[in-house]
Structure 1
Amino acid sequence: MYWSAKIISHNGDKRIAVYFEKNTELISRIRKVEGARWSQTLKVWHIPNTAENQIRFSIIVRQPSKEGLEQIAKFKQWLISKRYSTNTIKTYTEALRAFLTFFNQKNSNEISNEDLITYNNEYIFKNKLSSSYQNQIVNALKLYFKTVKEKKIEIEKIHRPKREKVLPNVLSKEEIKLILTAHSNLKHKTMLSLIYSCGLRRSELLNLLLQDINSKRNIVMIRQAKGKKDRIAPLSNKILQLLRDYYVVYKPKKWLFEGVNGEEPYDARSLSNVLKQALSKVGITKPVSLHWLRHSYATHLLESGTDLRYIQELLGHRSSKTTEIYTHVSTKSLEQIKSPFDDL
């Protein structure tokens, strides 16, 4: 299967042109790259020449060896047998695919510690990949060599980056109120409100079943969330009434928030668009994501006096250190500090 590529100028923009013999499978794969276009004039597929697409491009135009593909399949089967989550399986197998693609001229048994250093420098650093991606690579390779290959290899040779200390993005209560009341569509309003009122992740909201809402106990059951843990979150009277109004109008049968055909849960991308529409309506220009609502929920709880241990349970954090980050964005204590500027 032959591939070649080069940078071209198309309508004044730099693009990556991908050349290959006509093949329906390859066409299907190139189409999945965001911004991919077919040039009728040049008779070639081309994608935007961005840093992100350069990474995607390298995955598409290069392939692991046949032996490498077999190793990826074995690793995937091992992850499935151990009941890893779908997202983790996808992340780890893609990380291994990128690694074995880089060394597609080598048998996996020949890979050494020196190769790990080379990969770190020549792929991760050269492509300016994020520290979180680097950690994913380390985690995937460590598990692969320990389990599938049963090979002693100093995985620490791929140095783990120092964890970036990034504070969570938090909205004010006034901004939250604007966002949650922006939609006249009851379904859209209810979805956004439930995320904030219970501190849910996007996937947790979309995976809720009708039976997960317990109106008698005023709780919502969040099943098999991150880390394969169940947890419960309290439902306020206000959100319960909103859920009752929603049920009367939409009458969901299985999923609390159903997709178009009613057989699948609501689409994740569509939910993100619901938030974008709300932001546009109220004139908020910050790059707000659905996770900001969860961060805001935790911070507002902390500022109202809720103990960190309870917030940890409500969010489903494994470690208290994860929850403690909200102490750095809470303004409650800061408001007690008087600036010396005021005394001038």
Structure 2
Amino acid sequence: MPTLFEPLSLGAVTTPNRVFMAPLTRMRATVPGDVPNELMRDYYAQRASAGLVISEGTQISPEGKGYMDTPGIYSDEQVEGWRTITDAVHAGGGLIAAQLWHVGRVSHESFHASPDGEGLPVSASASPYRNRTTIRGEDGRPTRANCPTPRALELDEMPRLLEDYRRATVNAREAGFDLVEIHGAHGYLLHQFLSPDSNQRDDVYGGSLENRARLMLEVTDAVAGAWSSDRVGIRISPIGSFNGTEDPDGTESGLYVARELAGRNLAFLHLSEPDWAGGPQLDDGFRRELRAAFAGPIIGAGNYDAEKAQRLLDAGLIDAAAFGRAFIANPDLPRRLEDDLQLNAPDPDTFYGGDEAGYTDYPAYA
């Protein structure tokens, strides 16, 4: 069986190893404009030894924004900013994917203010729910705020939403990314449509599992059509509670989506497991069912260490592992894991927002 440090064929690319960098929200884009900047360039370049760097969630439109200082990929300035980052990662011998993000209801009205003051986040349904997001406080620092009740997307808005995903994919290609990853996990927009907990629609996007999965699959087809299916991956989190979204049918819906995606020749399926967010550990039974449903490369993520990753590689249940907090503190993580070197400990107080502290100042192993 392969080790974490062997190459992997991933759609149109071949990764140098199987230690991937998970998408990590860090809230350091330049405002106004949510533009990627030189600090972000240095951060990603430091981590270019990952088999694949997956970018932080990158909103496909102003409507898709849900947190302060997160980057977008819908304006010319944002594309130019990302180009400096992809160039730096490539110069370091790395590969990088753009994670295409629409948060849906996990947002705040201050991000969507319209001239009449009635801007609201959007979702599958206009249902109250309990969750918080991060906005800029009066002191300029991140602060937590309650999410409002969203408005439901109308049927006649769906073509515009699909165009937003398509345009973001074109922009990612122009910005020099090697792949894109659709964010279909963690209680964000596509997950909100998939889960009956957040989707109470009675049209073609609601009710049955087939209808609730429709938007996720339409988005996948739009993104693949804008580039190539072997340049497209998708992240799902069918089991667990994320951002106020419960998924009582998660096992069934996750396997249904995986079977539908299997025929689309995607680069990969990225499974986010619930234990990273305080949920239970995923059992291997679901992993076996997922492997049977999706024959392409599967990336596992969720409180992984080298031992867990190698065990699942040996069992044939994953093909690569994505590491999050370990990559925050260890820019040279693949080397540290391969040589069994001591890991730096991450500082949670610097995860979100700020400057280079806790961002670009973690040392490589001497």
Kindly indicate whether structure 1 or structure 2 has the higher relative contact order, using CA contacts under 8 Å at least 6 residues apart: 2
Question: TM-score when scaled to structure 2?
Answer: 0.25
Decide which structure has the larger Cα Rg and report it.
1
TM-score, normalised relative to structure 1 = 0.26
Q: Which has more strand, going by share of residues?
A: 2
